[in-house]
Amino acid sequence: MSTADNGPAPSPRMTVKRSPHRGHYDRETVNAILDEAMICHVGFIVDGSPFVIPTIHARVDDMLYFHGSPATRMMRLMKIGAEVCVTATLVDGIVAARSVFNHSLGFRSAVVIGPARLIDSPGERASALEAITDAVLPGRWAEARPPSRNEDKGTLVVAVSIDEFSAKIRGNEVSDEADDYDLPIWAGAIPLSTVAGTPEPDGRLLDGVEIPESVKQFVEAHTP
C-alpha cells in the first residue's frame, strides 16, 4: 500500500483504504477538484444521526466558504463550530468492462474534514460572498446588484479550513481480469460532462438588456 507518488497522507483517517493507489494527498489536486465542482455535499451530525446536504461552496486559498440562512440546521451547527465533512465529486465517465464486477465510474472526489467557524469580520464576509457567487458563475458578482444591508445581515457566512483532506481519482481506463481480454465483449468508456444549454432570459427582462459576459463565457466553456 504505497502512496509515495501522491504525497504523504495527512492523517490516518484521511487515507484512502480501498484502491490506495487512487489516493492523493497534495493540496493542488484537492483544490482543483473543489474549484471545478459546482456543489459539494456537507456531512454533519444532528442528535447522533448523520445528515448530508448539498450546498454551494467557494475556495479562497486554504479556506472553504459557505453561506446560508440561519434557519438551516447545517448553518446553525456550523456557526457554533461543529465538525463537518465536505465532499465534492466530479463524474468523468462510465467505465464498461468485460466483466460486470469491473464496471466502474471515472471520477474525482475531494474530502475535507474539520470544524466550521463563523466569519464575522465584514471584510472576510464580503470577499467570501463574492467568491461564492463567482464560484458558480465567474464574473457575476460585478454585474449584479450588490447585497443590501438587510440581505447581508440575514445571511451567515462560515468557513472550514482545508487542513485535513484527501482526494481519490479514477480515470476512464478499463481494467479487466487477465483472462477476460479474450472474451468477445465490448469494453470501453463513455465520457461524461456537464453541458450548458441555451440561456433562458427571465420573462420580465427590460428591453435591450443583453446577455452578460459571465453567462456568455460560462456557456462557451461548457459547450462540447
Chain positions 101 to 130 lying near a second copy, rule: CB under 8 A, are 101, 103, 105, 107, 109, 111, 113, 129
Helix (H) or strand (E) holding 91: strand 83-96
Backbone phi, then psi, for 85, in 5-degree steps? -120, 120
Neighbours of 170 (CB within 10 A): 18
The site string for a second copy over 147-166 (x = CB under 8 A, - otherwise) reads xx--x---x-----------
- Regarding 178 and contact with a second copy (CB under 8 A), the answer is no
- How far is C-alpha 79 from the geometric centre of its chain's CA atoms? 21
In angstroms, give the least distance from the CB of 205 to a second copy.
6
Burial class (CB in 10 A: 0-12, 13-18, 19+), 156: buried
Window contacting a second copy (CB under 8 A); options: 25-33, 57-65, 116-124, 140-148: 140-148
Site string for a second copy, 64-103 (x = CB under 8 A): ----xx-xxx---------xxxxx-x-x--x-xxxxxx-x
| 28 interacts with a second copy by CB under 8 A | no
From 29, 44, 138, 153, residue interacting with a second copy (rule: CB under 8 A): 44
- Counting residues that bind a second copy (by CB under 8 A) gives 99
Q: Of 120 and 207, which has the nearer Cβ to a second copy?
A: 207
Q: Record the cell numbers describing residue 171, joined without a space.
A: 480515470
**Is 6 a binder of a second copy (CB under 8 A)?**
no
Question: Could you give phi then psi for residue 18, rounded to 5 degrees?
Answer: -95, 130
Q: Which of 27, 140 has the CB closer to a second copy? A: 140
Closer CB to a second copy, 8 or 208, in the complex:
208
Query: Which lies closer to a second copy via its Cβ, residue 62 or residue 73?
Result: 73
Cα–Cα distances in Å, from 145 out to 46, 133, 149, 200?
36, 12, 12, 20
Cβ neighbours of 65 (radius 10 Å): 23
Q: Which of 47, 61, 120, 220 binds a second copy (CB under 8 A)?
A: 47
Given 21, 35, 36, 39, the residue binding a second copy (CB under 8 A) = 39
Of residues 99 and 121, the one with the C-beta less far from a second copy: 99
Spatial neighbors of 67 by CB under 8 A, at least 6 apart, are 56, 128, 129, 132, 155, 156, 157, 158
Give residue for cell 456531512: 43
